[in-house]
Chain A
């Protein structure tokens, strides 16, 4: 196996070179580098914050964080562009029709499909009662919300919600998580800031989705409002940083009056930047995740015989 040999030789060689290089890195006894000491001494007098990491993120390395924010935005835009083919754009979910259209275009004539494939497609149709609800149809005897399902029923695979245990646990955990996320961004002196807080809030959205189904958050998690919100976050970042340039003469300089440390407003523009970052990261990651969840059409094999074979679907079944 030439690939394995070459790959492992190269990997071991990389490890050797890096290992030699790493021995000379500063160890645990080394003095703090100059830039770190500068960040520590600047945090309290200049920004009135007791949190040097946040100070470095939103103060000393403002421009870097600015670039990072827009790198994330670029990634969100790329994911959106790649994940959506030519669907109508009113929802993350419910793109199946567009996929079926494409499928029909790719294999015209609509050959008969095998039993495995039929089962899979039937399960897909059952699962897709969001689309049915949107179209105003009755959703196949399923209750409106998972909470309305009688306790103790054998949950079908297509069940929208989790069991009552999971749902109750999520109900208890959600407010705690949401408050923790808000706390991370609101308290400027606590370790955290916009990035972790945004990710925590994405976790809240995902928990609701996992426990209660998409319909519970469908009003919130839609491309329209989310994308607008994300761009508002990006715009806020630009405005906050550019006002520093306009008022104080340098990009990202603090132009807000400094409040006493360990209050909501301590840190000046750091806090504003952090909040803008929260909006940007929270909405951006939500958009990315739900775009992924929405990619689900077009997985049927092109060759209908492949669906009948006993092998599970995987690599290399296609004869082309």
Chain B
């Protein structure tokens, strides 16, 4: 029932979109972006899963299986797991930059309200 994972990922993504569109607090908007990122991780890891699969380690296949079984597909997809690692690192980097921008906006405009951050203020 990996479809449930996919659908939960979609719901989390939509929640993130909703947070970004409906909130005015900049920190909450960044949190919405983090929600969207998390949905991406869930989607990637779910897509990597195979029924009855083991971790993609070539050490010793579980009982009754040969290494050929592993290569033939009784293992989680290592490429997608790698893509998930990449996504996590990029998510951390993007969140850090966004948060520091929010801190500076707050110090400059003295508000976290996105609607009040319109006028140019040198």
Contact = CB atoms under 8 A, between A and B. Distances in A.
A277 to B, nearest CB: 10
Contacts of A4: 22
A64 B86 contact: yes
A6 B111 CA distance: 24
Interface in A67-122: 68, 71-72, 74-76, 78-79, 82-83
A46 interface: no
Given A11-B21, A31-B73, A315-B116, 8 more contacts: A14-B17, A19-B7, A19-B10, A22-B9, A32-B50, A33-B79, A35-B79, A64-B86
Contact of A15 (B10, B50, B85): B10
B118 interface: no
A22 B58 contact: no
Interface in A14-33: 14-15, 18-19, 22-23, 25-33
Given A4-B22, A19-B10, A25-B47, A11 B17 contact: yes
Nearest to A29: B51
A302 B110 contact: yes
B21 A292 contact: no
Interface residues of B, number: 60
A27 B3 contact: yes
Contacts of A33: 77, 79
Interface string B97-117: 101110110010011110010
A53 B81 contact: yes
Contacts of A292: 96, 99-100, 103
Name which of A32, A51, A65, A301 has the most chain B CB atoms within 10 A of its CB: A32
A316 B113 contact: yes
A82 B57 CA distance: 42
Given A44-B58, A57-B85, A189-B59, A79 B100 contact: yes
- Interface of chain A, helix or strand or loop or mixed? helix
- Interface of chain B, helix or strand or loop or mixed? helix
A302 B110 CA distance: 8
A156 to B, nearest CB: 26
Interface of B: 2-3, 6-7, 9-11, 13-15, 17-18, 20-22, 24-25, 43, 47, 49-51, 53, 55-59, 70-73, 75, 77-82, 85-86, 88-90, 92-94, 96-97, 99-101, 103-104, 107, 110-113, 116
B82 A23 contact: no
Contacts of B93: 71-72, 74-76
A230 interface: no
A50 interface: yes
Contacts of B18: 7-8, 10-11
A61 interface: yes
A3 B21 contact: yes
A79 B50 contact: no
A145 B94 CA distance: 36
Contacts of B112: 315
A218 interface: no
Contacts of A75: 93-94, 96-97
A36 interface: yes
Name which of B81, B86, B112 has the most chain A CB atoms within 10 A of its CB: B86
Contact of B96 (A18, A28, A79): A79
A40 B56 contact: yes
